[in-house]
Amino acid sequence: MRLLLASASPRRADLLRAAGIDFDTLAVDIDERVRAGETPEDYVRRLASEKSVAGLNAALKGSRHNSSEASRHDDVVVLGADTVVVVDGAILGKPRDEDDARRMIGLLSGRRHDVLTGVSLRGGGRELARMATTAVFLARMSNADVAWYVKSGEGRDKAGAYAIQGLASRFVERIEGSYSNVVGLPVAVVQTLLEELNIV
């Protein structure tokens, strides 16, 4: 079986490699706007599922144009995932700009927030899906701390405008749950789904 990661995220790729999971990447583009009345849980589940669908469709389309791939398309399994930060029930995605990043970090400073990742594994006519939640507790950050961190640019392309594995680690007091989930992919959940599909 060929595992395709339907994501351009280098963090997700690094996590899979570190766990010794073989895969190829296939970036997909979907509409990531939140729908009216959609909960954070429903949102990440839906986007993960849509990403795995888009990845599988792209893989099958590519196989039809490449005879060497055509005989292998039934062996493709696609992994889709989406991660958000949630505070007070509000979804914090990637910041639009530095002002938005400052707003997000200000909301997270000195309190708990949750990181949710929806995971969808699709192949062989089946979809297996899960969601992981990790609680993260950040220390209170001064205005200078927030300004310094935002200026670093580290959180520019990350949900909640921060990266737990980088400079922001100095402000993380503790977490409850999967660390890899906060980085962007709950690897133990992925392993469980792969086992259920008899891929590993």
State pLDDT tens for residues 153-178: 999 999 999 999 999 999 999 999 99
User: What average pLDDT does this structure show over 93-115?
Assistant: 96
Provide the domain limits for residue 164: 2-196
Q: What is the DSSP string of 74-99?
A: GGEEEEEEEEEEEETTEEE-S-SSHH
Q: How confident is the model at residue 185 (pLDDT cuts 50, 70, 90)?
A: very high
* The pLDDT of residue 149: 98
In the chain, what percentage of residues exceed pLDDT 90?
85
Q: What is the average pLDDT across 88-96?
A: 93
pLDDT band for position 115 (cuts 50, 70, 90)? very high
Binning pLDDT at 50, 70 and 90, where does residue 129 land?
very high
Spatial separation of the C-alpha atoms in residues 78 and 80, rounded to whole Å:
6
CB 155 within 8 A of CB 122: no
DSSP-derived secondary structure letter, 4? E
Determine contact, residues 162/141, Cβ cutoff 8 Å. no
CATH number at residue 48: 3.90.950.10
CA separation for the pair 112, 62 (Å, rounded): 44
Instruction: Tell me the one-letter amino acid at 149.
Output: Y
Report the predicted TM-score, pTM, of the whole model to 2 decimal places.
Answer: 0.90
Active site residue 82: yes
Q: What is the pLDDT confidence band of residue 199, given thresholds at 50, 70 and 90?
A: confident
CA distance 22 to 74: 18
Residues 15-71 pLDDT 10s: 999 999 999 999 999 999 999 999 999 999 999 999 999 999 998 887 554 544 444
Report, as an integer, the average pLDDT of 87-114. 96
Number of domains the chain is built from: 1
Average pLDDT of every residue of the chain: 92
Task: Tokens for 120, please give them.
Answer: 């969808």
Q: Name the active-site residue from 74, 82, 99, 157.
A: 82
Rounded Cα distance between 149 and 187, Å, is: 27
**Residue 113 pLDDT greater than 80, yes or no:** yes
